[in-house]
């Protein structure tokens, strides 16, 4: 293997049955629909983890330098409040709670679903505490998901302010359809903390199947800014199969509208 070929893996809590396993070099391909179970298991929140790099092979190149996304040049949010369109979408929503987020790729407004009260309450606590401010979307998989809520620029794990893990809320009539928001977790079903993801496509493989395959907890949907989700998911990858953008996608702030 050429020394110029580099891989990364997201460090997670070790699970012998988790694919890909902890700290193993990821193959440079994106799993297809036929490997959706492998993809599902890889949707894991890193608890106190960090982005780690591994290089293969010899050669004279220097493999000690980590391969990371470029910092986003626009570090100051262009606005500190939700747009008129976002507020209008929130006002038109019948949901009790809505949240507006500003990313470096645009604005997103989500309505939160009362059928997942534990998950909604957990998310709102992080929003209210401004935990999500100045974080990044650290995992972006084309035609799958955009995941954030756990790292700051440079792939620094955000641990200060983490709340206890919550009980998994699935099998409540919600599905991982396109433009929904759901919680990432480890293979421990009740391990979700701050990390969330947007479904970029319909991901039925992430839904509840049985008590032994309970899926991932959806707790809301995008009601304004669907194009922003699409833009994040279409970002140029760091390299083929990297599952992270070449340039960091920032989440400047998240605020509760109602």
Phi first, then psi: give them for residue 42, nearest 5 degrees: -80, -10
Number of domains in the chain: 1
Instruction: Kindly state whether residue 50 falls inside one of the protein's structural domains.
Output: no
Residues 157, 50 contacting (CB under 8 angstroms)? yes
The confidence score (pLDDT) of residue 168 equals 98
**244: Cβ contacts below 8 Å, ≥ 6 apart:** 8, 69, 138, 139, 140, 237, 238
Instruction: Kindly state whether residue 48 falls inside one of the protein's structural domains.
Output: no
Q: How far apart are CA 200 and CA 196, in angstroms?
A: 13
The confidence score (pLDDT) of residue 36 equals 46
Instruction: Kindly state whether residue 158 falls inside one of the protein's structural domains.
Output: yes
Q: What is the pLDDT along the chain (258 residues), one digit of tens a residue?
A: 333 322 233 323 323 222 222 222 232 232 334 344 445 544 554 333 322 222 123 334 455 567 889 999 999 999 999 999 999 999 999 999 999 999 999 999 999 999 999 999 999 999 999 999 999 999 999 999 999 999 999 999 999 999 999 999 999 999 999 999 999 999 999 999 999 999 999 999 999 999 999 999 999 999 999 999 999 999 999 999 899 999 999 999 999 999
Q: What is the largest CA-CA distance in the chain?
A: 61
How buried is 92 (Cβ within 10 angstroms: 0-12 exposed, 13-18 middle, 19+ buried)?
exposed
Q: How do beta strands 97-103 and 250-256 pair?
A: antiparallel
Residues 210, 216 contacting (CB under 8 angstroms)? no
The confidence score (pLDDT) of residue 203 equals 97
Instruction: Kindly state whether residue 98 falls inside one of the protein's structural domains.
Output: yes
The confidence score (pLDDT) of residue 64 equals 55
Strand partners, 180: 221
Instruction: Kindly state whether residue 58 falls inside one of the protein's structural domains.
Output: no
The confidence score (pLDDT) of residue 44 equals 52
Task: Read off the tokens for 109.
Answer: 């407004």
Stated pTM of the model: 0.80
Q: What is the CATH number for 203?
A: 2.40.100.10
Instruction: Kindly state whether residue 121 falls inside one of the protein's structural domains.
Output: yes
Residues 94, 117 contacting (CB under 8 angstroms)? no
Other CB atoms within 10 Å distance of the CB of residue 122: 24
Instruction: Kindly state whether residue 179 falls inside one of the protein's structural domains.
Output: yes
Other CB atoms within 10 Å distance of the CB of residue 144: 24
Structural domain boundaries enclosing 174: 69-256
Q: How far apart are CA 11 and CA 42, in angstroms?
A: 11
Task: Read off the tokens for 241.
Answer: 């199969």
Strand, coil or helix: 101 = strand
Residues 100, 254 contacting (CB under 8 angstroms)? yes
């Amino acid at each position: 293997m050429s020394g110029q070929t580099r891989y990364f893996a997201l460090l997670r809590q070790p699970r012998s049955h988790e694919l890909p396993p902890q700290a193993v070099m990821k193959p440079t391909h994106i799993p297809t629909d036929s490997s959706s179970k492998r993809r599902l298991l890889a949707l894991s929140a890193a608890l106190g983890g960090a982005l780690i790099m591994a290089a293969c092979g010899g050669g004279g190149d220097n493999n000690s330098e980590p391969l990371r996304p470029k910092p986003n040049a626009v570090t100051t949010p262009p606005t500190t409040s939700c747009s008129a369109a976002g507020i209008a979408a929130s006002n038109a929503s019948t949901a009790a709670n809505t949240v507006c987020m500003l990313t470096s790729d645009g604005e997103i407004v989500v309505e939160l679903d009362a059928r997942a009260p534990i998950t909604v309450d957990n998310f709102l606590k992080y929003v209210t505490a401004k935990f999500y401010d100045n974080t990044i979307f650290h995992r972006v998989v084309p035609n799958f998901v955009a995941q954030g809520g756990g790292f700051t620029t440079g792939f620094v794990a955000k641990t200060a302010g983490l709340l206890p893990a919550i009980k998994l809320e699935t099998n409540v009539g919600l599905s991982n359809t396109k433009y929904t928001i759901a919680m990432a977790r480890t293979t421990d079903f009740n391990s979700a903390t701050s990390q969330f993801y947007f479904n970029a496509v319909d991901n039925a493989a992430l839904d509840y199947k049985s008590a032994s395959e309970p899926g991932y907890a959806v707790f809301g949907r995008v009601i304004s800014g669907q194009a922003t989700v699409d833009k994040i998911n279409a970002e140029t990858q760091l390299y083929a199969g990297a599952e992270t953008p070449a340039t960091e996608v920032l989440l400047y702030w998240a605020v509760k509208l109602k």
